[in-house]
Amino acid sequence: MKFGKHFKQQKVPEWTNAYMDYNGLKRILAEILQYKQSRQPSTPLRAAIQHKLTSHRHFSGLNLQSTNLSSKGDIEDQVIDVNASPEAGSRNFYYKTEFLRESEEGGEIEAKFFKKLDEELNNVNTFYKDKSEEMKHEAFLLNKQMDALIALRIKVENPHFDGSDAKKSGTTGVATTNPLKSSSRDTTSGVEDMNDEHGDEMSNNFQLEKSSYEQSGREHMEFTSELDRTDCNQEESTHGSEVIEVQDKDHGNAHQEKDNLTDYNEDPLKILERVKINSTLKSPLATIKGVFKDSKEEELSFKKEELKKVEERLRVALIEFYQKLLLLKHYSYMNLEAFSKIMKKYEKISSRRASRSYMKTVDNSCLGNSDEVNGLLERVEATFIKYFANSNRREGMNSLRPKAKRVKHSVIFFSGFFCGCSIALLIAVVLRIQARKLMDKAEGASYMVNIFPLYSLFAFIVLHILIHSANIYFWRQYRVNYPFIFGFKQGTELGHRDVFLLGTGLAVLALSSFLANLHLDLGSKASNYKTITELVPLGLVTVVLVIIFSPFNIIYRSSRFFFVQCLFRCICAPLYKVRLADFFLADHLTSQVQAIRSIELYICYYGLGEYSRRQNKCHSHGAYNAFYFVVAVAPFWLRLLQCIRRLCEEKDAVHGYNGLKYFLTIIAVLIRTAYELKKGTTWMVLALISSAVAVIVNTYWDIAIDWGLLRRKSKNAFLRDKLVISHKSVYFAAMILNVVLRLAWMQLVIEFNLHSLHKMAVTTTISCLEIIRRGIWSFFRLENEHLNNVGKYRAFKSVPLPFTYYDTDADKDD
């Protein structure tokens, strides 16, 4: 694989714009090559001249001379001269290369190349430096969080222990030295010795010398200052006293931070007097409590349950921080490789030796110095292994670096096998209905009206799953980072083959059940067990529910649990904080109203015993009709509550407008459902007007807000500035299709004088079209979300820390 393609594939999707423009530099090199070829003689003459020169060199000693000259290196210094000057008010350096051969023919193109190269180096270097500063600041905060956790562990496991008693006896109450504070050398060597159990550590720590804690306190503050010292240390030696002044200023800041926290060295348990627990409002009870409290902070209760929650939250924060460091290290490596490759290409095309000089500058830049990131990685590993993996290095590293998920051959085989079986079963069902001429008989038509709605539930779900599989395939093709957007745990996200396998597997189950129902119900001895055959759909639903809620590690347990959790949070809206996965699922539920009504039909059909009489008279029950209204608006109502929750938390008016959109849709659905049950011209007119308003508002919101299109001042007319699909016609086709499928939704209002069987067919078809529309919406909605993350370089999840420090000036500054 060529490096350009490999470089594109290995980019962090959200940081794509921050990488070196490898293709742009290659285009300039192509101009240089084209110019040189235009100035050289024709190919036959050039080959003859080259052959003559080669012959002369063999006998004249020119070969040896050129070798000697190439070993000196002074020719290289005559090609370029790289200067580095510090930027005003910043610790970054600005690199500018002077091309010394610009006066030669074609030299202006090569000067253009080095100008572009300097711009890319400066941009990449600035981005890397900014991200490194963010990592150091977050590491400083995690240091303080670990100190509080260690003190909390002591207090919970030894409630009667007092830090003042430890001071009198010359002992300390700290559990152990925080590896995040130690230097990388100490951390690395200490990892091998972490074999004691956690309980032994706690008991032995009470006998430590007080000086040991004071020493750990010094190491704590050396953590940040050490990063400042190692930061761009090669640049300091290269570029002189101006850098030293900047570093001395940062040294002063680090010492000031040290002074602000020296109080903790006197009595480690006093940390607990200066911290509170951050309330994340993750449970309905916590949300209700938060409504009546002004502060989202709680006093420490020193209970084991509290300690367990704090450990889990800090564990997640460390894992996420470690992943950030890995991405930053990978960013540095890939850009260094890109600079090296492009300079080699330049040497090959221009026949000038400038790579060694320029790469020396790159290596001396912040981008080339990843010691601070490597040191942070080692310290996080040591901390995590010691405190969250019981000193088990293998277990800790498996959590920090989960293995990438690989596609199994069994998944590919069974997905293809089930797909073939589904097609064969579908053909068998159609042939069975045609052979029995079921549609031509009154009894057969009644049978289809009663039984088909029970199986249509699975048709809607299977169609939705298959479209989602296609979406995942195209998201990966266009490098839309859907695992990060949805918040999947690393290594647990499903690929398009896995989702396709689930869809085809469910299709085989449903079609097999339907075919068995037809065979048993229409056979010669069907009258003997007609009641039993009616229970086949109920048995199928039971099997599916058992699989979904099964606690055993089968059939993608982590993904099933993720789905169940999101569904539960949707149902409990607005008592849970709304994540993207939650409102994304709720939006999909709004397109599955007919499927939800099928669930209601199951409850009525089997709960009221209608199946035993082989009749479906659910609409004659008042309770069923009441829930018929509720089911129709329930998904839209949940989305409205989610919008209200987000409006209260984020104070963004767009969530209020979004909630208004769902409120208008609820009104339209209620009027349409009333017309469906009561009929009448008045209800029809009201249904048409309300549905038209809802269609117009929803269509505009889909295209302009959710997809981010129809931008007047965009570089791409009526689209947006950035697009992941190169063919613009795809976006216009999607917009037109969205409008057409939205209008099809109104067909449910317009049709009113159809036979029950035909009405069922029309309703099913329009429901399938709505599912297809939602699938198209999903792709462009996630594409827009991905581009928003790219615009903000947002590649990490925001993980709330468990503790809040207060009553210190340093914490107020932080």
Reported as a single tens digit per residue, the pLDDT across 678-723 is 777 888 888 889 989 999 999 999 999 999 999 888 889 899 989 9
Average pLDDT of the chain is 77
Q: What pLDDT, in 10s, does the model give residues 648-678?
A: 988 899 999 999 999 999 999 888 888 877 7
Q: Mean per-residue pLDDT for 468-474?
A: 96
Q: Which of 12-26, 98-112, 228-242, 762-776 has the lowest mean pLDDT?
A: 228-242
pLDDT score for 83: 81
Using the predicted structure, report yes or no on whether residue 196 has a pLDDT greater than 80: no
Using the predicted structure, report yes or no on whether residue 43 has a pLDDT greater than 80: no
pLDDT score for 283: 60
pLDDT score for 604: 81
Q: Which two tokens stand for residue 410?
A: 């069994």
pLDDT-derived band at 462, boundaries 50, 70, 90: very high
For residue 600, CA distances in Å to 603, 625, 763 come to 5, 10, 16
pLDDT score for 378: 92
pLDDT-derived band at 805, boundaries 50, 70, 90: confident
The answer to whether the beta carbons of residues 129 and 91 sit under 8 Å apart is yes
Report the distance separating Cα 480 and Cα 559, nearest Å: 19
Report the distance separating Cα 153 and Cα 174, nearest Å: 9
Residue 799 DSSP SS3? coil
pTM: 0.79
Give domain limits for the chain.
3-121, 141-279+308-403, 410-477+495-555
410 versus 182: the higher-pLDDT residue is: 410
Which among 798, 800, 805 is positioned nearest to 147, based on CA atoms? 805
pLDDT score for 461: 95
Across 217-249, b (16+ Cβ under 10 Å) vs e yields: bebbbbbbbbbbebbbbbbbeebeeebeebbee
Rg over alpha carbons for the chain, rounded to the nearest Å, is: 34
Using the predicted structure, report yes or no on whether residue 419 has a pLDDT greater than 80: yes
pLDDT-derived band at 754, boundaries 50, 70, 90: low
Phi–psi pair at 509, nearest 5 degrees = -60, -45
Report the distance separating Cα 467 and Cα 450, nearest Å: 28
Place of tokens 């001249």: 49
Q: Which of 93-97, 228-232, 510-514, 547-551 has the lowest mean pLDDT?
A: 228-232
Q: Which of 271-280, 360-369, 468-477 has the lowest mean pLDDT?
A: 271-280
The answer to whether the beta carbons of residues 175 and 202 sit under 8 Å apart is yes
pLDDT score for 128: 92
Which among 256, 154, 299 is positioned nearest to 213, based on CA atoms? 154
pLDDT-derived band at 524, boundaries 50, 70, 90: low
Q: Which of 125-129, 195-199, 610-614, 798-802 has the lowest mean pLDDT?
A: 195-199
Q: What pLDDT, in 10s, does the model give residues 163-177?
A: 555 444 444 434 445
Q: Which of 55-59, 132-136, 186-190, 306-310 has the lowest mean pLDDT?
A: 186-190
